[in-house]
Amino acid sequence: MSRSRQPPLVTGISPNEGIPWTKVTIRGENLGTGPTDLIGLTICGHNCLLTAEWMSASKIVCRVGQAKNDKGDIIVTTKSGGKGTSTVSFKLLKPEKIGLLDQSAVWVDEMNYYDMRTDRNKGIPPLSLRPANPLGIEIENFEQLKMAVTNLKRQANKKSEGSLAYVKGGLSTFFEAQDALSAIHQKLEADGTEKVEGSMTQKLENVLNRASNTADTLFQEVLGRKDKADSTRNALNVLQRFKFLFNLPLNIERNIQKGDYDVVINDYEKAKSLFGKTEVQVFKKYYAEVETRIEALRELLLAKLLETPSTLHDQKRYIRYLSDLHAPGDPAWQCIGAQHRWILQLMHSCKEGYVQDLKGTPGLHSPMLDLDNDTRPLVLGPLSQTASLKRGSSFQSGRDDTWRYKTPHRVAFVEKLTKLVLSQLPNFWKLWISYVNGSLFSETAEKSGQIERSKNVRQRQNDFKKMIQEVMQCLVKLIRGALLPLSIPECGVRQYGGWEVKSELSGQWLAHVIQTIRLTYESLTALEIPNDMLQTIQDLILDLRVRCVMVTLQHTAEEIKRLAEKEDWIIDNEGLTSLPYQFEQCIVHSLQSLKGVLECKPGEASVFQQPKTQEEVCQLSINIMQIFIYCLEQLSTKPDADVDTTHLSVDVSSPDLFGSIHEDFSLTSEQRLLIVLSNCCYLERHTFLNIAEHFEKHNFQGIEKITQISMASLKELDQRLFENYIELKADPIVGSLEPGIYAGYFDWKDCLPPTGVRNYLKEALVNIIAVHAEVFTISKELVPRVLSKVVEAVSEELSRLMQCVSSFSKNGALQARLEICALRDTVAVHLTPESKSSFKQALEALPQLSSGADKKLLEELLNKFKSSMHLQLTCFQAASSTMMKT
């Protein structure tokens, strides 16, 4: 058989995938000349000819049936072209089993059936369209499966015999109807004419209408019940299909009570997208109920958001909820404002609590001050430590060590306040950062409100900066009110002050407070808060550092005043007591306690940057030095009765020349003068210079001025005390010279030849030796200075006496020369230009020796004197050898 047309060619199918019974449109070439020409259509191997509808030679519409293959070609067969080919394929998807009453997110195509009755075109309920069970039983075992096969065969036979058996059973009825119709036709033809009225057809029509009305009357109740059942069924179907909306108000309330806000928001978004713009009154009514519940939820979430205290996690969660619910206004900014007010309230409440505790139980350590069992160690300086002294003494601090365990209320308040700020401000700052970068809001809310929120951020950036500055200023003012009340204006005393304390905090506690505030500043800086917002804290730290320096120096001055009470008059081999060392250690410990305070942390200014501060610190330092000098003066002039020296001892290395110092020996005023003088010399040569180095090491300003004024005051005291001692020792010796010279009515004009040095000179030498012994016992270094002044006084007096003599005899001149030379040679090691000049003037007042015999006699008598007093004059020889070695 020859074909006159080309084979069909399928070039497209739409859609190209779907579940069984999906309606598809097939396009191609030579798809047939008409419906009768189309004799075959398979998709994925399934025959779809029964559902095919030929549209044109290039288009066919059909439904895809059940197929074994998941993917296959579309084959069209025509009479004119034969079996065709395909360039495309169709993918068959597995259908999801969805019941008639199940909810579905996609549209389910339902087939509508109609009955053929006149004026009734009602949809048959879906429940009646459920396919019958072809097996007729529930299969549980093999025997039942056999019965099922029998049922299938029976149903197949009925289906093949269906229409034919129906015709056979009613064949007589068909014949009777045919005969009746024929008889009617004959009568009509016999009648010949048909009248308009009363014709048979008219009567027949009336009879049929009456029959129809009678039938309707008979079956009206049954049909009404059916229609009512259909309506009820359809209503139930609607209720079941839209039960989500109808149950949503109650579900919202239940989920709110359980705290499942995410579920509520998801359900609300779904309802809004489905029924937000509905025109159905029932849906409108229920959707209005949903909006009422959602508005109540917005108010609840906003109340929880503004509730304090609250964690940052909860705040972010509530803000996202309100953002998803499209709450009016700006809940995130409202939360920031509420948190700001809460922090300020906490800070003021903290202050009021400590002030009330201080007033209610003064001097007691309240449990409220335990800082939530904060056990961090106190950062304190070394001032409280006891230093062991190298000279057999120790520097005992005047403070009680229990101060460590009695935290003052104001210090505890600062610790609590800073801890409070550090616990609240980071979350506050992070909340603002999240507000700025939009992470507080959900993705949908962020996209919808991104432009508007960026405008709000720009507008509210200055407002938030003011909030941070207000918190910082409140923190600083509260601390100032507690520690620096004079720096608070009168208008703010009531709000930030109120601490009724008379005593000021010690330098140690101020240093501890400074360390606490520094740690607070570092923590706030770590949050990346701009430095300009934290400048007030830096100013506070600087003021506290300056105040700590002042208080420490003032307290040091008070301790220096008490050093005089600790003088034990125990001297070492250098003639020094422990007092200079105690003085130096006291200052060193004070400066060490200020080491951390004076050190400049990043961003901090120097304590001494202000000229006023430099001047005050310099004056306090000078005051400390002068107080100690005054202590030395007090010790040197203290009455004997006020000095307990029964414990006086001397270093074993010091020789006890005369064995006059014993354990029960009491110091005289002259010995105390010598000890103070020895201390003054050490202070001038060592201590004051060491202190100046310590001041310089700690960056003190005006060190030259401090040293200059202190040295001048020390030298003035030293000179005054030295003159007093020389006056006490030299005057008696000088005063004994003239009476001794003229004892026994001695006359320079009429005297015997000299036989040796007279007793007055020996007595004067012994007194000088006694002075030497006293000074040497206290301090070897003072011996040259003291004896040179004593020798000057004696030589000056001797020169005056010689110059007052009107004339000398030969023997008198020789006697005078012997005594002057004996004194000069004996104390030669302690001669000064002044004393040498005095001896020279005394010798020039004498007549010159005229003969060699006189010179020989003079030399013999001098040697005899030195030989006889060799033991007594050993001290001068030892001093001479020592000076030669040095």
**Tokens representing 470?**
């207000």
CB contact set of 387 (below 8 Å; sequence gap of 6+):
394, 395, 585, 589
pLDDT at position 27: 93
pTM (predicted TM-score): 0.61
pLDDT at position 26: 93
Q: DSSP secondary structure string, 620-668?
A: HHHHHHHHHHHHHHHHHT--GGG---TT----TTS--SSS---TT----
Q: DSSP secondary structure string, 679-713?
A: HHHHIIIIIHHHHHHHHHHTT-S-HHHHHHHHHHH
Comparing C-alpha atoms, which of 198, 201, 206, 207 is closest to residue 184? Answer: 201
Q: Is the pLDDT at 25 greater than 90, yes or no?
A: yes
Which amino acid makes up residue 355? V
Comparing C-alpha atoms, which of 85, 39, 92 is closest to residue 64? Answer: 92
- pLDDT, mean of residues 641-653: 42
Do residues 448 and 346 lie in contact, with contact meaning Cβ atoms separated by under 8 Å? no
DSSP 401: G
- For 234-276, the pLDDT digits (tens) are 878 877 878 887 888 888 888 888 888 888 888 888 888 888 8
Average pLDDT, the chain: 77
- For 206-230, the pLDDT digits (tens) are 888 888 888 888 888 888 888 888 8
Give the least confident one: 130-144, 469-483, 557-571, 714-728. Answer: 130-144
pLDDT at position 164: 62
Give the least confident one: 13-17, 108-112, 290-294. Answer: 108-112
Q: Is the pLDDT at 11 greater than 90, yes or no?
A: yes
243: Cα separation from own chain's centroid: 53
Distances, alpha carbon 144 to alpha carbons 95, 377, 516, in Å: 29, 88, 90
Of 383 and 559, the structure prediction assigns the larger pLDDT to 559
What H or E segment, with its residue span, contains residue 29?
strand 23-29
- For 708-761, the pLDDT digits (tens) are 888 888 888 888 888 888 888 888 888 888 888 888 888 888 888 888 888 888
Q: Is the pLDDT at 317 greater than 80, yes or no?
A: yes
Do residues 508 and 378 lie in contact, with contact meaning Cβ atoms separated by under 8 Å? no
Do residues 699 and 598 lie in contact, with contact meaning Cβ atoms separated by under 8 Å? yes
- For 395-425, the pLDDT digits (tens) are 334 444 444 457 888 888 888 888 988 888 8
pLDDT at position 454: 59
- For 334-389, the pLDDT digits (tens) are 888 888 888 888 888 888 888 888 777 544 343 333 434 343 333 333 323 333 33
CA–CA–CA angle 425, 426, 429 (5° rounding): 85
pLDDT at position 750: 83
Give the least confident one: 118-132, 223-237, 687-701, 774-788. Answer: 118-132
CA gap 458, 735 in Å, rounded: 98
- For 64-76, the pLDDT digits (tens) are 988 777 888 999 9
What H or E segment, with its residue span, contains residue 778?
helix 759-778
CB contact set of 798 (below 8 Å; sequence gap of 6+):
737, 820, 823, 838, 839, 842
CB contact set of 587 (below 8 Å; sequence gap of 6+):
556, 624, 691, 694
Do residues 555 and 600 lie in contact, with contact meaning Cβ atoms separated by under 8 Å? no
- In this prediction, residue 9 has a pLDDT band, given cuts at 50, 70 and 90, of very high
